[in-house]
Every structure is written in structure tokens, then in C-alpha cells.
Structure 1
């Protein structure tokens, strides 16, 4: 079974939209594209290098795929392009697509069913980057095995969120954490069953 890992840059108020640049995703008039840039440091760079050095394939929504396809085919191994270009890119799209980036495959039929079937195949782990609309489908279907979050010390107030309306109430277990010199928290979480409740009030 293939592990499905969500790799996400996140603001303190849960926004994941357009961390990399002003023109990355302006849906809804989002005005803060590139909000992660000033917080990158050596530790974050090492973390990203380690994560991208593992064998993986990619699972992407169409918008994120287009952003990646415009950049990574020209990237050198020193720029981190080797792993991404070698990966199979599984793309969720509602309409038939023709891809120029090698090793790109469109998911057929119902996305949740297609991903569930893909997870049962042999191969490396599946990484999801960006792809906020696709993520909502994966979350509702309970298909995510791990979250690798980079939580930045910034509040954006608006934008696409990792956990949108309709996300299943769930508990998580922290498996790894560290903090960068710029205050970014790197935190890995795995699902830990349903939410449990209690009370601090005395009977």
C-alpha cells in the first residue's frame, strides 16, 4: 500500500494559498501571494531537500500541476528538479487533458475512488503539494496518511485553507517537530482516530 503524504505551507490561520509568489494563485482576489518567502532559512531548505530526496510520485490538482509544469522541467538537479521530474505525476482534472511534461497521467473517473485504488498499487509514496481543491476531496474520503506542515508565523485573514468546510472531525498524533530560526514550525502529523471529548468541570 502506498502512503499518501500532504506537504503544505500554512499560515497561522490555516491558509495555504499561493505561498510561493505573487502570481501563483490569485483566486478570490488573494492579495498576499509569496507570503512564505521572507521566512525561509537554512533549516527549512535542508528539510525540503530531505523530503524531496525520498522516492515519491506526485498527486496534484490541475492548477498546481500547471504551476509545477511551467517550472520544474527546466530545473537542474542542483535546484531540486531531479526527483520531481523522475516522479510520476498523477493529475486530478474534470476534463480530458494532454500533458507535455513526461510521466504525467490523468486520474480517471471519480477522484476519491481513483486515489484509493492508486494507493493499493505497488510504488513509492504519494506526495500532495498545494492542490487545495483536491485536498478537500482526499480529506473527506479519509485518504491522507500523513501531514507534513510548515507553519509560518503570519496571519493572512483570507484565502484557501487546508481544512475547509466539510473536513471530517479527526484527531492527530504528532510524530516530528522542529522550529526554524525564523519561527517556522515544521510538524508532522498522522491520523489518530475520531475526536474524543471530555470536561474539566467537576461533577
Structure 2
């Protein structure tokens, strides 16, 4: 059944790539399975002229892409909750990078939605005058 919801419509008809270590086929017509080394597959996709690539809900895939230096932008949702345990988004092995806040928003429930653009190498030093 095809939903009338605009978000569902966008997902149903746009090209999708699924990175999986266990799947061998996909039922979603507009989805393509990325097999083999996911870093190599994403590098090839980024070299094509096909628009932006997004990752939804996979901390493990994000960690792999950060280690491979394949992330240009981070769009996060930070909820005002401390669980004390769980999956880490920024795990060991991520290449140190500097990120610049490009946009942000706050939801009525207090969740913060920052977007960061990759700037480049990490530069260490004193905190700037805006924090004095």
C-alpha cells in the first residue's frame, strides 16, 4: 500500500542505497544493496552526480563513514535525556576533524537539531574571545 503522507512518498519513489552485512536482496523497488566494502561503495556514489547521500538511524554506518573520511555534513537530533549507556555515535577510530555549525533549531520538547559542515583538520588553541 502506498501512503499519501508526503514523507512516505519521498522515500518510496527516491533512489535508496542499503548497506548490510547480512541481506542478499531487497524488496523495495527503488533500493540498491551496497555489497562489499561500504567505504568503497560510498566513495563511488559520491563521485557520481547524484545529489546528497543521507544516513538514517545507523550509528555503526556513521562510524564507518567517519573512519573513512566520507562525511561532509552532520545533521543531528540531540534529545535532553541522559541514558547512561547505549551506542556511541562518535566511536573510536574517527578521524579528528573540525566542524562548523551551519544551522540549528529547537523543538518544543527541547530537542536540539544542529547541522555541522566539515571544515577540515583540527586546530587546537585557546578559546576565542566570544567565550571570555
What range is the shorter-chain TM-score in?
Answer: 0.7 to 0.9
**Structure with more strand by fraction:** 1
Quote the residue 1:110 is aligned against: 37
Quote the residue 1:6 is aligned against: none
TM-score with structure 1 setting the length: 0.58
CA deviations over 1:37-90 (Å, ceiling 9, x no partner) = xxxxxxxxxxxxxxxxxxxxxxxxxxxxxxxxxxxxx46132621001112221
Equivalent of 2:55 in 100, 116, 128: 128
CA deviations over 1:82-135 (Å, ceiling 9, x no partner) = 001112221112345121111121113211011001111122311110112111
Say what the alpha-carbon RMSD is for the aligned residues.
1.8
Moved runs in structure 1, 4+ residues, more than 3 A? none
TM-score with structure 2 setting the length: 0.86
Equivalent of 1:88 in 5, 12, 15: 15
Unmatched runs of 5 consecutive residues or more in structure 2:
128-132
Unmatched runs of 5 consecutive residues or more in structure 1:
1-73
Quote the residue 1:39 is aligned against: none
Task: Return closer, same or farther for 1:117/1:199 CA change in 2, 3 Å cut-off.
Answer: same
Number of equivalenced pairs: 127
Equivalent of 1:101 in 7, 10, 28: 28
Quote the residue 2:93 is aligned against: 166
**Structure with more helix by fraction:** 1
**Greater RCO between the two (CA within 8 Å, min separation 6)?**
1
